Amino acid sequence: MTAMFAGSAISTGKVDESFFYIVAISVVLLVSVTIVMVFFLFRYNRKKHPEPEAVREPLWLEIVWTVIPTILALSMFYFGWVNFEFIRTPPKNAMTVNVIGREWSWSFTYDNGKQSDVLRVPLNKPVKLILTSADVIHSLYIPAFRIKEDCVPGMKTYLWFNADEVGTYDIFCTEYCGVSHSHMLSKVIVMPAAEYYKWYSAEEVGGLAAEGKKLVQEKGCLGCHSTDGERKVGPTFKGLRDSIETVLTDGKERKVKVDDEYIKHYIEHPNVDVVKGYPPIMPVIPVTEGELKAIVEYLKTVK
């Protein structure tokens, strides 16, 4: 098993329990039926019994092979049901986080309005995720916790988990949702409670740039653009401001200086200029004039 699938929440154990129970019964049945089948192949071979005989099954045998499989099937149902109910019933004291999936990023909003593009949660605390989508159907999947649920536009769905190990775990979108579906990734970061609450209550630095920072999270820009120099689907925002870019305009290469105008124009009319070396897939994301200003201000601070 890879680290990605290592256990780390209560739901992990519950799902594995049902899964391995059913697998174990299936293996026992497969092996025993196959052995009996092969045995009968020889025992009742036509050469040994050229004349067919009328066989009357003993009643006790009929009862045994009806009752035992019934009990086995019901026990599988029982385990599955109990654990299903567990993972579908969030405890009353769960903290909630609102999740929006969009082409092609995740954003997480906490009770106090704080937002992030990775999910941060405290250790040993039940967390209820309320899911929706801003565009098409996505599906939030956390393999390490064995939980998955669709994010449907205009509808709210939910998941819950209780992480019991500090660490960082993968989040995937498991609904094929468009060109950059495979880049629709994020992380769950499970932190010791004290550390989490410190992060949760930390004030963001004020001003227009701070608003811009919030916007690029909310609008899903960070799904395609990093702020630390990493190449994602699109170019990084790090050091973008005042750099000289080579862009293709109508297939012709030209050099431009990245200033207010360039950034505004780019966001409002993506793919008129296309940064060299990147696919022309930046979506049109509606922003107001005010939001645009804030984003431009913020990008000045990403060095």
What residues contact residue 160 under an 8 Å CB cut-off, 6+ apart? 87, 90, 91, 94, 126, 127, 128, 129, 147
Q: From ligand HEC, Cu ion, none, which one binds at residue 224 (CB under 5 to 8 Å depending on kind)?
A: ligand HEC
274 binds ligand HEC per the rule CB under 6 A: yes
CB atoms within 10 A of CB 195: 14
C-alpha span between 83 and 146 (Å, rounded): 12
Q: Which stretch binds ligand HEC (CB under 6 A): 1-9, 132-140, 195-203, 231-239?
A: 231-239
| Residue 188 tokens, joined | 């769950």
Q: Which stretch binds ligand HEC (CB under 6 A): 63-71, 168-176, 195-203, 213-221?
A: 213-221
Sheet of 167-173: strands edge to edge?
Answer: 119-122, 186-191, 167-173, 138-142, 147-151
Is residue 131 a contact residue for Cu ion (CB under 5 A)? Answer: no
173 binds, options ligand HEC, Cu ion, none, Cβ within 5 to 8 A by partner type: Cu ion
Q: Is 302 in the site for ligand HEC (CB under 6 A)?
A: no
**CA gap 222, 205 in Å, rounded:** 19
Handedness of CA 205, 210, 211, 215 (dihedral sign): negative
Shortest Cβ 229–ligand HEC spacing (Å): 12
Q: Packing angle between helix 289-301 and helix 260-268, nearest 10 degrees? A: 130
Draw the binding track, 55-94, toward ligand HEC (x: CB under 6 A; -: no contact): ----------------------------------------
Q: Which residues bind ligand HEC (CB under 6 A)?
A: 104, 180, 216, 219-221, 223-225, 233-235, 240, 245, 258, 263, 266-267, 270-271, 274-275, 278-283, 285, 295
